[in-house]
Structure 1
Amino acid sequence: MLKNQHITLYVTGSIAAYKALALVRMLVKQQAQVRVVMTAAAQKFVTPLSFQTLSKHEVMTDTFAGQHPTIVDHIELADWTDLAVIAPASADIIGKMAQGIADDFASLTLMATTAPKLVAPAMNNHMWSNPAVQRNIQLLQADGIKLIDPETGFLAEGYQGKGRMAEPQQILAMTTASLFVPTILTGKKILVTAGGTRERLDPVRFLANDSSGKMGYAIAQALQQRGAEVTLISAPTKLTAPTMVKLQSITSTEELYEAVLQKFPSQDALIMTAAVADFKPITTAQQKIKKNSDNNQWSLELEKTPDILQAVAQIKRPDQITIGFAAETQNLVANARKKLVQKNLDLVIANDVSKPGVGFNGDTNRVTMITSNQPPITTDLLPKSQIAEKIADQLEKIINQ
């Protein structure tokens, strides 16, 4: 959603300046064009070279550098900008913006910028609660500038208080929302499942698979950025849910089954990315199973878990879309087509998890997208974020049909 968008990031004097480096990386990964302006105080915390390396653009710091004699630097940058993000925003820059002061390159360029602006304050809690700062915040909001409220947490001074800059992921979400152009997915309610379910053997052991949840989380983020109302049902992972996505945590296949069947009737689409355990122990020990020195073998009896997509197929309305995943190690297309028919799916995303860099736990994937009315489409080996965008594209095509 940020591809080729022109975003100017203003970094001002705060220890939170290091977080702005992560924000630049996130924006670039979203294929945005990012240029950075740094105040003199910001350069005491992070060097311009760091931002230049990540953004691949010259970092602007000096009003009178005059490196481009054919243009007026601050006006050129102001006109180039689609969105100005001030993060971290110190009390100083907030005061200058509110009072119309333009005495350095950052404040001068911001005054000339007509594009929307996002301000992410970062300061000590006493400074944040100062009446002058609050008056300036109110003036900025009255001028139509959006505020990303600071968080309460551990401050640089060594104690808790409100004033921490919002996390880069939240700023990224607000940036995306500010530049959002409605799509066919805007307002659609979409249920996404992610991660690998766990089936308990005893209080300390379980049956599981290698799913990290990365593919499902990437899909949830891609859909949310296109305006969908996304609910993410997630088995245990080490991931943080995308901002503005509703998260429901589950552990077992039975819990996932109940959650999906409860929520699916109110949804426009279901994308079943979760790697579901096909079997579970018939009995679960209430205490840790101990080794038996008299016996070197142990038999484990298993039974099938509920077939979630089969159950969904029984209640699916004609206006609902269901998408399933097929992780295979052989006969990829044939097995995926069989699943497409048996589970009454609109699309199957198949991948050969025996191939290097494909499927579980990695950051990349190669998938084959199969529907009933078009030849299979196989992607290159790509980051999972890009695979997620291609899946979102296919969902839009299905809706348009």
Structure 2
Amino acid sequence: MNFRDIAEQNENWIIEQRRYFHAHPELSFEEKNTTHEIGKCLEEMGLTPHYYPDYNGLWAIIKGGKSTPGSKTVALRADIDALPVEEHTGLTFCSQNPGVMHACGHDCHIAMLLGGIRMLMAKKEDLKGNVKIIFQAAEESCHGAQYYVGHGFLDDVDAIYGTHIWGELDAPYMNFETGPRMASCDNFRIEVEGVSSHGSTPHQGVDAILTAAYIITEIQAIVSRMNNPLNPLVVTVGKIEGGQRFNILADKVVLEGTTRTHSPEMRKKTEPLLRRIAENTADSMGAKATLTFEYFPAPIINEHEDLVLIARNAAAKMYGTDCLKPFPKMMISEDFAYYMEKVPGVFGLIGSQNKSLGITAKNHNDHYTVDESVLKRGAAMYAQFAYDFLEGSSK
């Protein structure tokens, strides 16, 4: 089975879906209309959408005509939320919701998965297993996927497939590689407590700002001296709040930041290292530091070579081996990792950049848009991967 021609036949419909959802973006945890409209599309295809009583997003299942009680189930995922960005693309179908934009391409993910489902439904009787579909809310929150895992979506799933449309990869290329692809994302807050005094008599107080500055400097030793230099690691302080007035020694400073790594082992070490450095540095200054550390997505690691091979072969079958391009691993994160911690998974990229068309803005930019000719390929990949996984699992 080759879905290339079916994808061509569905291209206009897929683009139409993308444009609708692009014009009607909704923020994380607010995707009510998006959820409703996706549900309507699924019903029109003959599927039963399943909703959550206290959460946006929805799921459905395609029961293959050749499935048996022992058949496998493969899951396909698309995220559906937008960003708090004022759009400046000038598109005729630009956002109708002021201050909200599909600046990360999730409108494309919705359209591609809907297109893939449409193709799979056309070949439903040939499927040798089941295809479970999740349209996920709140990816941009870093942990939207966690809800669905916790509520049993993956309990009967054998593998999961996901992709992200990507503004740094040229259209119409795709990327599926083994090994680390994206980093973990864990966030921290350090509260530094000092003693206030007049700015002219600093010896009578404990300077929380100076202490915080030393902490910021010292925690960089985690990256430069406590981490294997062959392992990418980021420890970033992105926000500082403190001080009351120019002539008052600050008694409180709050630091907020993020840590990123591809190494599950280093990820476990980072929190205790941060805590030790923050507390000891503050103590040396006569201050107190309290660390709050929150774990979010683990690294995206394509460690199941069999699934990567299915994805690569699916792409090559439809578009030739030249459609696959290498792409460097990144330090951004994706909450698709929550699914991959539960079941085997593969995650890839669909290129959307086309310099000849002036499409060069990157994801999260207020000018971000895509070369829509790639959408049919992304849709075809959803269908082809699912079909080929089930075909191979039945042997």
Is the TM value for this pair above 0.5? no
The TM-score bracket by the shorter chain reads: 0.3 to 0.5
Tell me the TM-score normalised to structure 1 length.
Answer: 0.32
- Whose relative contact order is higher, 1 or 2, with alpha carbons under 8 Å and at least 6 apart? 2
Tell me the TM-score normalised to structure 2 length.
Answer: 0.32
